[in-house]
A and B are shown apart, each in its own frame.
Chain A
Amino acid sequence: MKANRAASGQSGEACAASPRRIVPHAIYRRLGDRVFGALVLVLGSSIALLTVAMGLVLYRQGGAPIVRDGFFGFLFQTTWNPVTGEHGAWPFVVGTLITSFGALSIAFLPAIAVGIFSAEYAPRRVAAAINYLVDLLAAVPSVVIGIWGIFVFAPWMRDTFYMPAFYWARESAAWLLPVLGTPTSYNILTATLLLALMITPYTVALTRDAVRMVPREQREAAQALGSTHWEMIRMSVLPYARGGIVAGVVLSLARALGETMVVAMLIGNSNRLPYTLFGPAANMPSVIANEFREAVEPTHVTALMAVGFYLFLITFAVNLIAAYIQKRLNVGGRIL
């Protein structure tokens, strides 16, 4: 509208003579394009710059141990002892790999199944109920899940599963004991299970949306060939939606990597390798969350920063992988 007024101001009489001509002159319309383009460019690049800046700051603050021990030296060093000033990231890297890939492998199949079910099979009301629950689960603050985990889930799991399993293993499968460890309330398994619960709504929602995006023609083409519902899903829906589904799984992984609160509350905080299933552990977000307050030694602070830097790199890489997968596997968006 502004451009229009400017246009009539400049071309004066011509425009006033034809009041019905509300389309501004091409030059102003192109100006609008330019303004919008510039705005998008500025906003987009500032996000990119912010990301890069964040990585740089993390590196500058946490670079010292990386410089001292080398990129892989710090990564693979297995001792983390703030008292003696030894800082190696490996226990936390291992903890992160176990919790996030563990959570992902627990969650992804059921979550994909629920996503497909709610998009394809569920009667409208059931689908609405599922969607509501999924949204609710995604909206619950992780500290609430954490507190529930501490007071309800963890004790219950210990009494119902961990202790019986431990006693059973001690009686009849002693070779399992090194894997299981002595049951504690807060351990890597409990943290992983809750993490799985937390990423489930993301995988469900992303799967459901990917399935819903499949165009009607694709479905009908399969049905017109005489396919059953499941055959249609296999033949046209899943191939079409696979990019979105796989990208959704990878994004859920990124979320599992970064989720802090629940893990910090439930993992038990021990950096002594090797970890056991029923024993305490730590991962990258949890060590940062749990130690930054006590970190008074500058070396301790920089080491925590360095751990943050590695976590940043990992999540960054995982997001890139998700984008790449989506691009490679995506078949939607192309006309005809």
Chain B
Amino acid sequence: MMSLAAVQSVPTNNVAVRGGASSGQPVVQEQTAGTPAHGAHPRLETRALSVRYGGGAVGVADITMPVHANRVTALIGPSGCGKTTYLRALNRMHDLTPGAHVSGQVLLDGEDIYGPGVDPIVVRRRIGMVFQKPSPFPTMSIYDNVVAGLKLVGVRKRSVLDGVAERSLRQAGLWDEVKDRLKTGGRDLSGGQQQRLSIARALAVEPDVLLMDEPTSSLDPKSTGHIEELMVELKKEVTLVIVTHNMQQAARLSDYTAFFYLGALIELGPTSRIFEAPAEERTAEYISGRFG
């Protein structure tokens, strides 16, 4: 595993166990990393993470939560509650938003990605992102789209690129549909195929973590099903954080669910518990569809 930079290493096995819904603190009902529930440990962890936008708008405030390795963590909550804001803080996408300010820590394998000397470029290579809107590069062929990230790091060898293209497209469940037209434009694909192409492109650089912001919200049920299967398959190799407005989707495929409300983390826990016995009144209300 490559290091982000020469940064002081922070021990990973001390996720705060926070409880007490009444205290106003989020309910983070979690095991410490040393004794995880299913052998998982936090690959990613945020501590007191806050994001403010220019003009003083608060995106999220004081989020402390772990993201476990090889698990799917779903972020749910009503529109505007800060899910996208939180997700984009995890791979430093806010660096590019004028006026946005991030405070707190995001630890990737114990290293703060906002620490001094950390190159955001390297962070984004390890923590990939798939957006709500499929965004293949329109002038590139399917093949070139998939290997775009590798070419950035200087991989030029044809055999390597070919291998990665096939592996990534297979992982994204797109190989069979496009293997005969890899040289054609990525724009000629359907929306669902384009989204899987975006996923393949993100996977090609072998990220440790993949962030997905409502990856299926513009897709039909069939493509959605496809991508959901894909996510379950993918978690063998990567850690997934997804934002979704679809409760069934969160319940179906995530291992952990985090409920956000008004920029705050209200509750985090194993998905089954969040959906069956939420500790917080607002979580229960949101899940049962009474607001949001």
Chain A interface residues (CB < 8 Å from chain B): 124, 217-228, 231, 235-236, 239-240, 242, 331, 334, 336
Contacts and interface: CB of A to CB of B under 8 A. Distances in A.
B138 interface: yes
Given A224-B128, A225-B124, A231 B152 contact: yes
Given A218-B135, A221-B135, A221-B198, 11 more contacts: A221-B136, A221-B137, A222-B148, A225-B128, A226-B149, A227-B121, A228-B121, A231-B152, A236-B137, A334-B187, A336-B134
9 contacts: A221-B131, A223-B96, A224-B93, A225-B152, A226-B121, A226-B125, A231-B152, A334-B138, A334-B187
A243 to B, nearest CB: 10
Contacts of A222: 137, 148
Kindly list the 10 A-B residue pairs having the minimum CB-CB distance in the complex, ordered from nearest. Answer: A226-B125, A239-B139, A224-B129, A225-B149, A221-B135, A331-B138, A217-B135, A226-B124, A226-B121, A217-B133
Nearest to A329: B139
Contact of A235 (B130, B148, B191): B148
Contacts of B202: 224-225
A227 B93 CA distance: 12
A239 B137 contact: yes
Contacts, number: 75
Interface of B: 91, 93, 96, 98, 121-125, 128-131, 133-140, 148-149, 152-153, 187, 191, 194, 198, 201-202, 205
Contact of A226 (B131, B137, B198, B205): B205
A224 B187 contact: no
Contact of B152 (A219, A226, A336): A226
B131 A336 contact: no
Nearest to B129: A224
Interface of A is mostly: helix
B154 to A, nearest CB: 11
A336 B121 contact: no
Nearest to B128: A224
Contacts of A236: 137
A235 B150 CA distance: 12
Given A220-B93, A220-B96, A224-B124, A235 B135 contact: no
Contacts of B191: 336
Contact of B194 (A235, A239, A336): A336
Nearest to B91: A224
Nearest to B218: A336
Nearest to A228: B121
Given A217-B131, A226-B122, A240 B138 contact: yes
A239 B144 CA distance: 13
Contact of B131 (A220, A227, A239): A220
A253 to B, nearest CB: 24
A328 to B, nearest CB: 12
B148 A225 contact: yes
Nearest to A334: B187
Nearest to B153: A226
Nearest to B185: A331
Contacts of A336: 133-134, 187, 191, 194
A224 B130 CA distance: 8
Contacts of B136: 221
Nearest to A330: B138
A331 B187 contact: yes
A79 B20 CA distance: 97
Contact of A239 (B134, B138, B149, B205): B138
Nearest to B140: A239
Nearest to A218: B135
Nearest to A240: B138
Nearest to A231: B152
Contacts of B123: 226
Contacts of B138: 218, 239-240, 331, 334
A218 B122 CA distance: 19
B48 to A, nearest CB: 25
Contacts of A217: 131, 133, 135
Contacts of B148: 222, 225, 235
Given A217-B133, A218-B135, A336-B194, A223 B128 contact: no
Contacts of B124: 223-226
